Amino acid sequence: MADTSGGRARAVIENPMPVVDAGRFPAKRCVGDTVIVEADVFVDGHEALRCMLLHRRQGERGWNEVEMRALVNDRWRSEFTLPGPGVYEYTITAWLDPFSSWLRDLKRWTAPEDLSVSLATGAQLIAQAARRARGEDSRRLKAWSEALAADTDVAVRVDRASDAELNKLISLYADRRQGTTHEPLLGIVADPPLARFSAWYEMFPRAAHNPARVPGMSPPTHGTFRDCEARLPYVAEMGFDVLYFPPIHPIGETRRKGPNNATTSGPGDPGSPWAIGSSAGGHKAIHAELGTLEDFHRLVRSARALGIEVALDIAFQCSPDHPYVAEHPEWFRHRPDGSVQHAENPPKKYEDIYPFNFDTKDWRSLWDELRSIFDYWIEQEVRVFRVDNPHTKPFAMWQWIIGGIKRAHPDVIFLAEAFTRPKIMHRLAKLGFSQSYTYFTWRNNKAELTEYFTELSQSPGREYFRPNAWPNTPDILHEYLQQGGRPAFVTRLVLAATLAANYGIYGPAFELTEHTPREMGSEEYLDSEKYQIRQWDLNRADSLRHIITRVNRIRRDNPALHQDWRLAFYTTDNEQLLCYAKSTPDLSNVILVAVNLDPVHTQMGWVSLRLEELGVQPDMPFEVEDLLTGARYQWRGPHNYVELAPHRLPAHILRVCRATDADTPRPATN
């Protein structure tokens, strides 16, 4: 707390919210949000306090002030709205309010002589405020002071002292010289709404060529940005608003990987897009077979016209052929024999990739160059980035890079791909990453899902950690999907899309239920797109595209699913049934989800609801509409029956409707 009163400040300000690490990092919100600010504010003794919220966009000189209101137990609250993207700062200031203290005590006196003395004291306080005021305000306050000090009827003077206009005017000229202001200033990052609510679709652009021929009958053709542009309506119709590409840069030849991560490649093998760089260029170049920079510009603009943002993968690593390797050998770690150390994650080896040596003495030049990669693609109109393995790069570098970019381009969104220890993932989020991958892929049973998403939605980390849930990625094919068939894919889709406001799928592998691992016990795909060009028949009759479309439409149409915080889990009497709800603060939109976690067997049981959280009267029947099927069911009371057959549909996404006059509830079956 700042004390500029020479040690005479008496107000105490504690426990402000929102705050991250005592103000070291900003909390996160989105444009248009109302930021609710609270703090404990109190003083020794019995004097009244005034408390003010101060807020401004970072870099502005003046403050906007909003009066705070007392709640209970010395807790105070106010709020302000974030008008645009950027960084905002706020603080709280409090001071003793002698006029309010005096007015409170005045109303307690009953004897005329006591009232007369008190009125004289009040007249002095108003006169002091008049000296601080200017112009007409000063003259009006002086007149009020004289009226309270005049030898006139006491009751009339008491009534005038309570005049609302006097209270309003005197509050404008409070004496704050002995006030307390909280330090440090506290920050709020206002991101675009897409940072809070988004559906991501990942695809390899080199697999976008989809000719009308039988897959596998001829060698696949390398896709282009023009092919990706033709794929945009497919992605848009399914309801995705972010189209994410793995690296689009030239791919190295040296130690290029073959199919299924083979250490040698044959003629025509395209290699891994994450082995970035060749004689054709590095991180600021485009793989020639994808097209030109102008083709890329056209793709980005065509996507944006359909409401889709193109996201690029930023992977700070190089193939042995990257120009950086020859131009800046000091940026890489060398072995005793002089060779460059390739990437390793024992027992895995990535012979086609050189990691940067961030301990280099030339670290500043390295940081500058890596920052310039973001700057370059921002110039190409990219506003969303998925960052590969940020946890293996310096924290300080990310804070510097993201902070600088957000100051210049506050609408840019960063997704951290960091499947690592929780504290590291949280640190990256604090440093500025807008969204974060999660452990969702490995949370499959009822207890795991309940515990994990309760933590994400209710713990203090929610102030800065925005989860993005993915059922699959090019690197991760979980055992649940390998063994559970189509119902497992639908289950994981519904869970990801409703538990988290941000989610994504790796397609077309997901909608075509690709589930064969490279070998038993592996999470790697057989014939992974990371190492070869795949053909996909998007028109397959068994594609999940229609249910994905339905789920994404449900997400868009229901504001309850646009956020993470108002998530509540409910008890079921069957460990294979998971039930939870999301709602808007005013309960105008309430979504209740029931999921069968068993992809093989029909599961049934009773769910126990806390009806007040759903806006339902305990003694009234209510209707729920299954937004997946259109079916409607009459429920009554907190206990209701659910039965879900996974091979028909393993989940309900229920909208809680208004109460009806129906007397008999029907079980919800599917």
Q: Is residue 642 part of a domain?
A: yes
Residue 262: inside a domain: no
24 and 83, same domain (yes or no)? yes
In a shared domain, residues 596 and 512: no
pLDDT averages per 10-residue partition of the chain, 670 residues: 62 97 97 98 90 96 96 97 97 89 78 79 83 88 84 82 82 84 96 98 94 62 97 98 98 97 94 98 98 98 98 98 97 92 83 97 98 98 98 98 97 97 98 98 98 98 98 98 98 98 98 97 97 95 98 98 98 98 97 98 98 93 97 96 98 85 42
Residue 367 three-state SS: helix
pLDDT at 665: 43
pTM for the full model? 0.93
Which of the listed residues 519, 542, 560 is the one where a domain comes to its end? Answer: 560
Q: Are 477 and 515 in contact (CB under 8 A)?
A: yes
Q: Are residues 485 and 583 in the same domain?
A: no
- Judge if 86 and 29 occupy the same domain: yes
Question: Is 629 among the domain residues?
Answer: yes
Query: Which residue reads 């693609």 in tokens?
Result: 377
H/E stretch holding 398: helix 395-408
- How far is it, in rounded angstroms, from Cα 302 to Cα 287? 20
Q: Give SS3 for 133.
A: coil
What is the pLDDT at residue 215? Answer: 53
**C-alpha–C-alpha distance, residues 256 and 314, integer Å:** 20
Q: Which of 112, 140, 173 is the last residue of a domain?
A: 173
Are 420 and 485 members of one domain? yes
- Listed in sequence order, the residues at least 6 apart from 35 whose beta carbon sits closer than 8 Å to its beta carbon are 18, 29, 55, 79, 80, 81, 82, 88, 90, 188
Cα–Cα dist 238/199, whole Å = 10
Spell out the residues 6+ positions from residue 628 whose beta carbon is closer than 8 angstroms to its own.
547, 550, 551, 554, 649, 651, 652, 653
Tally of domains in the chain: 4
Structure tokens at 656: 């809680």
Show the domain range for 48.
1-97+175-191
* pLDDT of 15: 97
Quick one: 552 and 577 in the same domain?
Answer: no
In a domain, 81, yes or no: yes
Prior bond of 346 cis (ω within 30°): no
Give dist(CA 185, CA 670) in Å, integer: 54
∠ CA 179-182-184, rounded to 5°: 140
CATH number of the CATH domain containing 437: 3.20.20.80
Q: Which two tokens stand for residue 646?
A: 């996974």
Residue at 124 is within a domain: yes
* Torsion over CA: 418, 421, 422, 428 (sign): negative
Distances (CA, A) of 299 to 229, 243, 302, 386, 538: 6, 11, 5, 18, 20
pLDDT at 661: 39
Taking the C-alpha atoms of residue 72 and residue 451, their distance in angstroms, rounded to an integer, is 31
Residues 428 and 514 in one domain: yes
* 50 and 69 fall within a common domain: yes
Q: Which of 292, 290, 311 is nearest to 300 (CA)?
A: 311
Closest CA relative to residue 298, chosen from 283, 313, 286, 281: 286
Q: Are residues 411 and 530 in the same domain?
A: yes
Q: How many helices (H) and strands (E) does the chain have?
A: 14, 32
Q: Is residue 152 part of a domain?
A: yes
Q: What is the pLDDT of residue 169?
A: 84
Nearest Cα to Cα of residue 215 among 512, 487, 474, 482? 512
Residues 597 and 476 in one domain: no
Same domain membership, residue 472 and residue 520: yes
Query: Can you say whether the dihedral through the CA atoms of 470, 472, 476, 482 is positive or negative?
Result: positive
The number of residues in the chain equals: 670
Instruction: Evaluate whether residue 336 is within a structural domain.
Output: no
| Whether residues 425 and 521 fall in one domain | yes
Catalytically active residues are 388, 417
Decide which of 560, 577, 611 is a domain's last residue: 560
Select from 659, 662, 596, 668 the least CA-distant residue to 639.
668
How far apart, in whole angstroms, are the C-alpha atoms of residue 626 and residue 424? 39
The sign of the torsion formed by the CA atoms of 150, 154, 156, 157 equals positive
pLDDT tens-place string over residues 238-284: 999 999 999 999 999 999 999 999 999 999 999 999 999 999 999 99
pLDDT tens for each residue of 136-145: 888 888 887 8
Cα separation of 9 and 11, whole Å? 6
